[in-house]
Amino acid sequence: MREALLRWFAANGRDLPWRRTYTPYEVWISEIMLQQTQMDRGVSYFQRWMERFPTPEALAAASEEDVLHAWEGLGYYSRARNLLAAARRIRDLHGGVFPGRREDIAALPGVGPYTTAAIASIAFEQPVACVDANVERVIARVFDVDAPVKEKNAAARIAALAQELLPPAQARAHNQAMMELGALVCGRKARCEICPLADFCLSRHLGIVHERPVPGRKADTVLLDVVTGVLRHEGRIFVQKRCDRGAWGGLWEFPGGRVEPGEEPRQAVVREHHEETGFAVRVTDDYGIIRHGYTTYRVTLYCFGVSLDGGAWATDAEGLPVPPVLTAASAYRWASPQELQSLAMPAAHRKLADRLFAAAPGPAQASLI
Ligand code: SF4
């Protein structure tokens, strides 16, 4: 079975940029980037990333702003912040050289047991099995694991089987072959007719491939109604930088938040703006709806243009209102359209920014605001 798998991988493994030299830095970045990301998309982000931050030292020297901007669109921004923190740890504790000891790899921020095993085996050829969702599925089918793969006993059995299967001297090829097989052949819809493990696969022999893996309990989908307001003043747009916690920590956004029960989106955006910035605003434009999904959330984002609601505003030297009272952010900026393009934003806010500028491309952008 091992030989059949390795032969198949040698002939069918995809030619991916990090599979050319297997430097630990490249393997690490690819592993973090490919979590929750499609391969094609991951490869183009990876190539741009390597041009921008070719070594751990280059990454360690970058600003958080630059790193988040390079990550923009991949979501789960704590991963980008952890990459930066880990690169700085590599620089400070390991002289800029990616560590090979498993406990040192595991101590890097954002590196959990799976990623530790992936880096240790793929970059350093250490004999440790990797178990990702693809491997779980392949093992559950080949060995007919008859419980959901995340259930404690089933997970332990899968981990033990994965380790038992591993040829100690070929951890790099074997682990990648297992994951690749799960991605290309033994996917949600199994392609048993072209599978190198068909002769060894219990589920196939029993005719129960469609029943493996046993489905686990599905997480409930949460529907969220959220508002955001684009506040303009004297040719600039107000944006705020989210506090460092949470999925979008450190990213720039237009103020806003959840619609409360019984509230209209227009009311919510006025309330949220006031709560988050202290500014009293009124709605001037309706920019429509942006729908966005992540993990188990389905977000409907109601987008508005807002302006300051009367009153005499204290202004700074540039004539911009001061100071906002920030309650959900660590910094703010009155950004020009050009600056807005260079800030890292959550996907839905980026869509809104792009939509605003697409409406008036080129020099007319300035007149839009
Ligand atoms: S034979 Fe089918 S079910 Fe079994 S490992 Fe191959 S593709 Fe998956």
Q: Which residues contact 23 (CB under 8 A, 6 or more apart)?
A: 98, 123
Per cent of the chain over pLDDT 90 is 73
For the structural domain made of 2-211, what CATH number should be given?
A: 1.10.340.30
Q: How far, in Å, CA of 205 to CA of 285, rounded?
A: 62
Q: pLDDT-derived band of residue 73, with 50, 70 and 90 as boundaries?
A: confident
Residue nearest atom 4 of ligand 1, based on CA coordinates: 201
Does ligand 1 lie within 6 Å of residue 162's CB atom? no
Average pLDDT over residues 335-348: 87
Q: How far, in Å, CA of 10 to CA of 2, rounded?
A: 12
Does ligand 1 lie within 6 Å of residue 201's CB atom? yes
Secondary structure element (H or E) that encloses residue 46, with its range: helix 39-52
pLDDT at 312: 57
Q: How far, in Å, CA of 88 to CA of 92, rounded?
A: 6
Whole-number CA gyration radius for the chain: 25
What distance in angstroms lies between residue 167's CA and the mean position of ligand 1's atoms?
20
At 80 the three-state DSSP class reads helix
Tokens of 162: 């994965």
Q: What angle do CA 99, 100, 106 make, to 5 degrees?
A: 75
Q: How far, in Å, CA of 2 to CA of 20, rounded?
A: 23
Q: pLDDT-derived band of residue 359, with 50, 70 and 90 as boundaries?
A: low
Q: How far, in Å, CA of 134 to CA of 58, rounded?
A: 32
Q: pLDDT-derived band of residue 363, with 50, 70 and 90 as boundaries?
A: very low
Secondary structure element (H or E) that encloses residue 294, with its range: strand 281-294
Q: pLDDT-derived band of residue 41, with 50, 70 and 90 as boundaries?
A: very high
Asked if residues 125 and 171 have their Cβ atoms less than 8 Å apart, the reply is yes
Does ligand 1 lie within 6 Å of residue 138's CB atom? yes
**So what CATH class is 222-368?**
alpha beta
- Domain layout of the chain by residue ranges: 2-211, 222-368
